[in-house]
Amino acid sequence: MLHPFDHPAVSRLILLALEEDLGRGDVTTLATVPPDREAAGRITAKADLTVAGLPLGERILKLLGATAGFRALVAEGSLVKRGEVVAELWGKAATLLVVERTLLNFLQRLSGVATLTRRFVDAVAGTSCKIIDTRKTLPGFRLLDKYAVTCGGGSNHRLGLDDGVLIKDNHIALCGGVGEAVRRARRHASALLRIEVECTNLVEVQEALEARADIILLDNMTTPQIREAVQLVRGRALVEASGNINIERVREVAETGVDFISVGALTHSAPAADLSMTITTRS
């Protein structure tokens, strides 16, 4: 449980994936490939991409109960070029064929998230602003998606509802205002947690500062509004910008001086990175 991939939740997801694909067995391979045929596999990038997820290769084989081998040829987070081989496998052909799709599906997802994150991170290079993720991860992929974000050079916001206080629009509506919400959090939440609150205008930012919020999330503001808010805060709190900040606009937001920009699309809309596996008989 020390590496995210060792967490029981990841094993549960891998098992789900293996079981849903394999069902009661690979009838095609059983019918067409001799059971003792030894083979080698190569995983190749079909486009430029940032790699994430290769250590899953070993975990998947282990959870499958297979004796095949897996070796990553590039480091996690590497930028690889189209045509580059990122990993090798070896073992029974039948094993490689069973594992192929599940492994690729994981790699394409994680590398897709890393690749998109890398674009955002590169876009703000040279500023002091960090690109961070959200809780808009795919169900079951929280740890994996957040890990892939770090492979792309991004940072993680809280991992769940329990490791950070983030007061959002719905909380504020339910308890009657930004100031009141922050004060309640300060009174009731763990002393070990900082308090972040979502603000949609400068009045709320002022209110949050007075209630001594630790972090202010500027939600769906224009870039000039964000700039103004940063000036209002003047270092008394950390500032996060969020809400429809796409690749075109991210740099101008970063240059306002916000500490963090959070981008839901990193994990809710990353297209798969293109990777494939070739399997050949091994003499």
| Active site (catalytic) residues | 101, 136, 168, 198, 219
Identify which of residues 58 and 255 has a Cβ nearer to a second copy in the complex.
58
- 45 near a second copy, judged by CB under 8 A: no
Min separation Cβ 74 and a second copy, Å: 19
Among positions 255-274, residues that touch a second copy (CB under 8 A) are 259-260, 264-265, 268-269, 271-272
> What Cα–Cα distance (Å) separates residue 195 from each residue in 26, 160, 175, 277?
51, 14, 16, 46
- 247 near a second copy, judged by CB under 8 A: no
- 235 near a second copy, judged by CB under 8 A: no
Among positions 56-85, residues that touch a second copy (CB under 8 A) are 64-66
Identify which of residues 224 and 280 has a Cβ nearer to a second copy in the complex.
280
Using the rule CB under 8 A, give the single segment among 79-87, 93-101, 223-231, 247-255 that binds a second copy.
93-101
Min separation Cβ 158 and a second copy, Å: 5
Give the pair of three-digit tokens for residue 248. 């075109």
Angle at 271 between CA 146 and CA 9, to 5 degrees: 35
Using the rule CB under 8 A, give the single segment among 73-81, 168-176, 216-224, 228-236 that binds a second copy.
168-176
**The one among 158, 227, 249, 251 contacting a second copy by CB under 8 A:** 158
Q: Is 77 helix (H, G, I), strand (E, B) or coil?
A: coil
Rounded to an integer, what distance in angstroms lies between the CA atom of residue 105 and that of residue 85?
Answer: 17
Min separation Cβ 224 and a second copy, Å: 23
Spell out a b/e string for 103-127, using b for 16 or more CB atoms within 10 Å of the CB, else e.
Answer: bbebbbbbbbbbbbbbbbbbbbeeb
- 251 near a second copy, judged by CB under 8 A: no
Strand order from edge to edge, sheet including 275-281: 69-72, 85-92, 38-45, 275-281
Among positions 129-148, residues that touch a second copy (CB under 8 A) are 135-143
Residue pair 108/142 in contact (Cβ under 8 Å)? The answer is no
- 109 near a second copy, judged by CB under 8 A: yes
- 193 near a second copy, judged by CB under 8 A: yes
Give the pair of three-digit tokens for residue 107. 């790699």
Report the candidate in 62, 24, 264, 47 with the shortest Cα–Cα distance to residue 146: 264
Greatest Cα pair distance in the chain: 73
- 232 near a second copy, judged by CB under 8 A: no
